[in-house]
């Protein structure tokens, strides 16, 4: 596998389906993986933020990854979240999902007990050393209240299997590239700025919206790579309102509700995440309809 290129295009940050009693619905997970792959996604990201990884005990976490790997059956790369605010826990998760067959790792910054930039370097070095798999660093300051500074990316560029960045702080991408050159592949962590990321040399997106519009997210990125930049921009603009709607509450509450409204239910979220409010449910249904999707439920 090439350094800095786990995938090129769109990877869906997949929801984790649950039964109404809170158990993982492994059969539904297999169906979701298969439908995404049939829709043409370039990779699957399992047990990330959208997959409610923070509510999964380690045995479930590894079992979810193993199920996705089996369902994918080599058709696309399966990238497994394994980030933690406890370095030793992250090391153990990295080993677990590697043994489960993942093709790559997604490693979010420590949260709550946030560390210094020097601590980030040591944390990412230690967790990357736990596996031979390629690692995508995940920078999402809005969630963690901790930003990976461009200079920290520069320090980590010497770690051979840290190959990419899922970046949710677009403002610093030019500086990171100025410092690090081609040491990393950049993926957008925000559905609303995929084309801007591609214009800066990015390789794609890890997408929440891809749970309901996998073809659109794929087509946007592939249009750009094929030189059809106007088409890519038009697709980016076309999903603007829908992106606002699927983030009307904390992710993944709205995207799971969107799946339900479209007759593709992945079940509820686990506490502390709750059901979407009725007001936002109606707003979401309206946005889905305005985009041209068929909503199940005559009362909406």
Q: Give me the active site residues, please.
A: 138, 166
Which residues make Cβ contacts (< 8 Å) with residue 275, sequence separation at least 6? 253, 257, 268, 269
Q: Contact 79/164 with Cβ under 8 angstroms?
A: no
- Taking the CB of residue 30, how many other CB atoms lie within 10 A of it? 16
Among 182, 206, 178, which residue's Cα sits nearest to residue 194? 206
For CA atoms 136, 139, 143, 144, the dihedral sign is: positive
- Taking the CB of residue 183, how many other CB atoms lie within 10 A of it? 20
Among 42, 47, 36, which residue's Cα sits nearest to residue 82? 47
Among 108, 65, 116, 64, which residue's Cα sits nearest to residue 89? 108
């Amino acid at each position: 596998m090439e350094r800095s290129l786990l995938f090129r295009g769109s990877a869906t940050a997949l929801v984790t389906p649950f039964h109404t009693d809170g158990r993982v619905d492994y059969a539904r997970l297999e169906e979701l993986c298969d439908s995404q792959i049939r829709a043409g996604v370039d990779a699957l990201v399992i047990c990330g933020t959208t997959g409610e990884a923070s509510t999964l005990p380690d045995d479930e976490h590894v079992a979810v990854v193993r199920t996705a790997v089996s369902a994918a059956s080599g058709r696309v790369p399966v990238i497994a979240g394994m980030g933690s605010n406890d370095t030793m826990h992250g090391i153990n998760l990295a080993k677990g999902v590697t043994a489960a067959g993942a093709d790559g790792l997604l490693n979010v910054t420590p949260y709550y007990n946030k560390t210094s930039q020097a601590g980030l370097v040591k944390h990412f070095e230690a967790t990357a050393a736990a596996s031979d798999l390629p690692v995508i660093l995940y920078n999402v300051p809005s969630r963690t209240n901790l930003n990976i500074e461009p200079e920290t990316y520069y320090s980590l560029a010497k770690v051979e299997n840290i190959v990419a960045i899922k970046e949710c702080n677009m403002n610093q991408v030019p500086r990171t590239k100025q410092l690090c050159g081609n040491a990393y592949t950049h993926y957008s962590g925000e559905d609303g700025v995929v084309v801007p990321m591609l214009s800066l040399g990015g390789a794609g997106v890890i997408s929440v919206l891809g749970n309901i519009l996998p073809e659109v997210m794929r087509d946007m990125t592939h249009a750009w790579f094929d030189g059809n930049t106007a088409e890519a921009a038009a697709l980016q603009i076309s999903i603007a309102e829908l992106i606002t709607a699927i983030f009307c509450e904390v992710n993944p509450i709205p995207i799971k509700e969107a799946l339900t409204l479209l007759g593709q239910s992945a079940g509820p979220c686990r506490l502390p995440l709750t059901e979407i409010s009725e007001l936002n449910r109606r707003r979401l249904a309206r946005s889905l309809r305005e985009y041209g999707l068929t909503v199940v439920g005559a009362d909406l």
